Amino acid sequence: MHIDILSLFPEVFEPMLSTSIIGRARDNGLLTVACTNYRDYTHDVHRTVDDKPYGGGPGMVLKCEPVFAAVRDVESRAAVPPLRILLTPQGRRLDQPLVKELAAAQTLLLICGHYEGFDERIRLGLKPLEVSIGDYVLSGGEAAAMVLVDTVTRLLPGALGAEESVEEESFTDGLLEYPQYTRPAEFEGMRVPDVLVSGHHAEVARWRAEQRRLRTRERRPDLPAARQDG
């Protein structure tokens, strides 16, 4: 997969992009990422990317010209037309099913905003898929873009080692994950459940499945899987 990220602060991405699973996916050639600054597509001495809103009001609005120019230039060099994504709190909520859809694309183009918002014609003209990472307002789309890159990367075939399977992760089948323990068997009076040290694989599996159902019902009764019998 290839991901282009357009932002006013492209330098914020590199540390996370070169660490852990994402870093390894890039080293192994499963993922390439390129970050581009809208400012490189301005033509005035001040390299202006924002302006006051028509009609008045607080804050500044990201201008059309540098965003359209950056999108067009990056896309002109893309091997296949990318799926355009605009990070915005007004978008479709990012959840694991949407992550799966995005992970199937060959190329993603992530458009990050900053300031008070975008000129509306960025949505109207570029027709991106609008994605939100939750019902709160970030100061920019960068953190949201990073969340999206992280969630998508771990679903790329080969990105996780055998020991990091996505099979039993929270949300993979709509249920939350079971509780995990490692040594020591007792810590500050808290003991690891006996079944986990029993060596009884079938019972461990049963216990884990039951814990997943209980946890989901208790913590996330809104998830459809919480209402299934069993």
Name the site residues for ligand ADE (rule: CB under 6 A). 87-89, 132-134, 136-138, 141, 144
Residue spans of alpha helices (H) in the chain: 14-17, 20-27, 64-76, 96-103, 120-126, 142-153, 194-197, 201-219
Nearer of residues 142 and 226 to ligand ADE, judged by Cβ: 142
Nearer of residues 91 and 207 to ligand ADE, judged by Cβ: 91
CA dihedral angle for residue 142, residue 219, residue 172, residue 212, rounded to 10 degrees: 150
Q: How far is the CB of 141 from ligand ADE (least distance, A)?
A: 4
Query: Residue 165's CB: how many other CB atoms inside 10 A?
Result: 10
Q: How far is the CB of 149 from ligand ADE (least distance, A)?
A: 13
Q: How far is the CB of 98 from ligand ADE (least distance, A)?
A: 12
Q: How far is the CB of 158 from ligand ADE (least distance, A)?
A: 28
Q: How far is the CB of 138 from ligand ADE (least distance, A)?
A: 4
Cα–Cα separations (whole angstroms), residue 66 to 9, 21, 70, 84: 14, 32, 6, 16
Nearer of residues 145 and 175 to ligand ADE, judged by Cβ: 145
Q: How far is the CB of 5 from ligand ADE (least distance, A)?
A: 13
Spell out the residues 6+ positions from residue 90 whose beta carbon is closer than 8 angstroms to its own.
Answer: 130, 132
Nearer of residues 88 and 151 to ligand ADE, judged by Cβ: 88
Give the H or E element holding residue 53.
Answer: none
Nearer of residues 50 and 178 to ligand ADE, judged by Cβ: 50
Nearer of residues 82 and 91 to ligand ADE, judged by Cβ: 91
SS (HEC) of 56-120: CCCCCEECHHHHHHHHHHHHHCCCCCCEEEEEEEEEEECCHHHHHHHHCCCEEEEECCCCCEECH
